[in-house]
């Protein structure tokens, strides 16, 4: 039977990121990733286009729909202008800024890799290479936010567990437990759903020659290890939250049963009193 080679199909949907070109800045380019929220409505952005359709000269601004903006070679004035333009379209902005930086070095010789001092070495500032580096930095800043939120969730649950260990009981408001479960599910949705940090970028479907560069960038920022650590902690938080919720529900069931028993006893007492009142003296 003859074998038919089918072309690789790229996932459909919105672009992985939007980009705005900026004036070129030379061979040393600073890259800064800002976390603006859990999601950005990119449909409302003006002046941004698909990275595959925009001519870039080495400096640009990438916007990712999972809440990150990466400035490549931007001046402080350009950075402030773009952040002010994008921020109104961000959902659930963080209470404190989350920023990661990197230095991109353009070299037409040698391997494309990450140097010992953390510089990202690229042969040229093509849209694909810049998008790949920006994607890794954007995913890293998203992971940093979720790592901090997960630690906060552990800090909130720990006093409840300590109370259970020391006193055999815990004051467990149902709303507090539901908030814990909601935080866990929200973090899982961000990591697995929106940012898809455990998956390779869609860009590599059409540019498989950049797969080695992505592997080196992913290893430098430890995306895989950090994602697996987050998943394990989310699983622990989920188990703890579900256990606490079961405990609260058991306490409510016990209270309900005691209330029913007390009501039955009260009705029996009323019945006995009425019988005693009718009994001839």
Q: Looking at residue 125, what is its pLDDT?
A: 82
Residues 6+ apart with CB under 8 A from 67: 35, 36, 37, 38, 39, 40, 90, 91, 142, 194
Percentage of residues in the chain with pLDDT exceeding 90?
17
Q: Looking at residue 12, what is its pLDDT?
A: 38
Residue 149 has pLDDT above 80, yes or no: no
Residue 3 has pLDDT above 50, yes or no: no
Structure confidence at residue 36 as a pLDDT band (50, 70, 90) = very high
| Secondary structure (DSSP) of 122-169 | ESS--HHHHHHHHHHHHHHHHHHHHHHHHHHHHHHHHHHHHHHHHHS-
Return the HEC string of 214-229.
HHHHHHHCCHHHHHHH
**Is the whole-model pTM more than 0.85?**
no
Segment 73-88, tens digit of pLDDT? 898 999 999 999 999 9
Q: Cβ of 50: how many Cβ atoms within 10 Å?
A: 13
Query: Domain residue spans in the chain?
Result: 17-135, 142-252
Q: Looking at residue 233, what is its pLDDT?
A: 78
Mean confidence (pLDDT) of the chain:
76
Q: In what order do the strands lie in the sheet with 113-114?
A: 17-22, 59-64, 68-72, 28-35, 99-106, 120-122, 113-114
Residue 247 has pLDDT above 90, yes or no: no
Residue 159 has pLDDT above 80, yes or no: no
């Amino acid at each position: 039977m003859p074998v038919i080679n089918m072309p690789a199909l790229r996932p459909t949907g919105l672009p992985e990121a939007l980009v705005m070109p900026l004036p070129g800045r030379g061979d040393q380019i600073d890259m800064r990733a800002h976390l603006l929220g859990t999601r950005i409505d990119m449909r409302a952005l003006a002046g941004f286009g698909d990275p595959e359709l925009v001519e870039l000269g080495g400096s640009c601004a990438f916007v990712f729909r999972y809440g990150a903006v990466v400035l490549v070679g931007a001046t402080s004035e350009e950075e402030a202008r773009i952040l002010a333009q994008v921020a109104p379209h961000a959902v659930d902005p963080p209470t404190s800024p989350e920023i990661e930086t990197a230095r991109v070095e353009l070299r037409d010789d040698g391997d494309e890799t990450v140097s010992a001092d953390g510089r990202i070495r690229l042969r040229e500032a093509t849209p694909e290479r810049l998008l790949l580096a920006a994607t890794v930095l954007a995913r890293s800043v998203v992971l940093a936010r979720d790592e901090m939120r997960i630690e906060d969730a552990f800090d909130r649950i720990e006093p409840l567990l300590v109370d259970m260990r020391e006193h055999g009981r815990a004051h467990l408001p149902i709303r507090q437990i539901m908030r814990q479960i909601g935080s866990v599910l929200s973090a899982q949705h961000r990591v697995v759903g929106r940012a898809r940090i455990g998956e390779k970028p869609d860009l590599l479907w059409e540019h498989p020659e950049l797969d080695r560069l992505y592997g080196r960038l992913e290893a430098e920022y430890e995306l895989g290890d950090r994602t697996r650590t987050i998943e394990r902690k989310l699983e622990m938080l989920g188990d703890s939250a579900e256990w606490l919720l079961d405990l609260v529900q058991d306490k409510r069931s016990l209270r309900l049963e005691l209330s029913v028993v007390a009501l039955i006893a009260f009705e029996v007492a009323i019945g006995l009193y009425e019988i005693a009142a009718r009994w001839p003296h």
